[in-house]
Structure 1
């Protein structure tokens, strides 16, 4: 087996864990099955991760990174701020539609973390990460625009996280992509109304 830098090996194992957990569920995924999925020995897994908590945190962060990259790329200036916002929402939604199992896994990980003693901080960190990402995206969006001064960026970030989180779960349950598109339009309209061009 070729030697690989530790960070790259951790990434390989994390991606293997995502595949295994998406396929088999969190409770049925073992360190042995993750190592087999990655094509490495169990000792390599234990060298890279000290605990299950560390692995789960890496999985949560990596899944979020998967769709944040496409959203960040989509938020480039368009004709209107509404079009820019809608493009970012659509990029997120395209990821949900293309990878529903990965998004379902995020909910399973949240429930798992909340139910396991000592793991609750992972669920909280997951949602803090969502808010941090939305704050960064709002800042990116706000270049050349001014946000209504009555709106606090952290509050708007949590609003967007709650909206997309709820919509994603609704889609995973009901499977109604048409309704999702309509709701994304409403969210884009609402958020666009909070911005105005710099004078």
Structure 2
């Protein structure tokens, strides 16, 4: 087995855990099955993660970072605020459609953490990460486009996290991809109404 730095090995095991959990469910995924998915021995897993709790936290952080990267890449300033916001939502939406199992996993991780004694803080951390991610995106966009918000950043960040969370679950349950152009347009218009563009 090829030796690699522990940080890289942790990333390898986290990616393997995401694949295994998306396929088999969180409760049905064991440390042994993750090690097998990654093609390493069980001792390597325990060297990198001292508990399944640590692994779940790494999985939550990795998934959130990926989603944020997708949106951040698309959220470049465009001609108007609406076009910019719409591009960010579209990028996220395209990711949901392309990777429904990975997005479904996020909800399963939440339920798993809330119902398992000692893991409850991981569910809280998961949603704190969502809020932190939106806060960062809002502040970057505000600075680059000279925007003034009608509501506090913390309120808008929490609102966007809750709205995205609900819309994603709604799609995973109902599907109906054809209606989502209108849904995203409506959300974009609402976000636009919460922001004021300052004069140069």
What's the secondary structure of 1:26's corresponding residue?
coil
Q: Which residue pairs with 2:192 in the alignment?
A: 192
1:75–1:140: 8 Å Cα contact kept in structure 2? Answer: no
User: Partners in 2 of 1:182 and 1:165 — Cα distance?
Assistant: 18
Q: Which residue pairs with 1:177 in the alignment?
A: 177
Question: Bigger shift: 187-196 or 46-55?
Answer: 187-196
Q: Which residue pairs with 2:36 in the alignment?
A: 36
What's the secondary structure of 1:76's corresponding residue?
coil
User: Partners in 1 of 2:147 and 2:65 — Cα distance?
Assistant: 27
* CA displacement, residues 69-120 of structure 1 (integer Å, 9 cap, x when unaligned): 1100101111100100000011111111110000000000000000001111
Unaligned runs of 5+ in 2: none
User: Partners in 2 of 1:194 and 1:147 — Cα distance?
Assistant: 9
Count of residues in Structure 1 that have an aligned counterpart in Structure 2: 198
Matched, 1:114 2:114: yes
The offset of 1:144, in angstroms, is 2.6
User: Partners in 1 of 2:169 and 2:81 — Cα distance?
Assistant: 27
- Equivalences for residues 1-199 of structure 1 within 5 A: 1-142=1-142, 143-148=144-149, 150-199=150-199
2:148–2:198: 8 Å Cα contact kept in structure 1? Answer: no
The offset of 1:182, in angstroms, is 1.7
User: Partners in 1 of 2:95 and 2:154 — Cα distance?
Assistant: 24
Which TM-score applies when normalising by structure 2? 0.96
User: Partners in 1 of 2:122 and 2:44 — Cα distance?
Assistant: 24
User: Partners in 1 of 2:69 and 2:164 — Cα distance?
Assistant: 16
User: Partners in 1 of 2:197 and 2:156 — Cα distance?
Assistant: 18
2:6–2:48: 8 Å Cα contact kept in structure 1? Answer: yes
2:77–2:145: 8 Å Cα contact kept in structure 1? Answer: no
